[in-house]
Amino acid sequence: MAKEMPCVGFGRLNTQEWPDVAAKYDVMSLPTVIIFRDGEPADFVVGAVPKKIIADKIRRVLNEN
């Protein structure tokens, strides 16, 4: 997905190594995808979902002003 959306930054967090960060964003289940805008969580996806659902949510966040 990173190749398809070069204007979006993607990262991973090991919740066992960084439990304080996971707790800060209320991550209770894996996988959890948090979509940030301007440094703040704008949307999220919990659980294994099709790529299209994540891409659609990212596009929706990018189009918000």
Q: Where are the domains of the chain?
A: 26-63
- pLDDT band of residue 64 (cuts 50, 70, 90) is confident
Coarse DSSP helix, strand, coil percentages of the chain, rounded to the nearest 5 percent: 30, 20, 50
- Tokens representing residue 18 in the block: 């960084």
CA atoms of 46 and 19, how far apart (whole Å) = 17
State pLDDT tens for residues 13-40. 999 999 999 999 999 999 999 999 999 9
- Tokens representing residue 21 in the block: 């960060």
pTM of the model: 0.90
CA atoms of 35 and 9, how far apart (whole Å) = 10
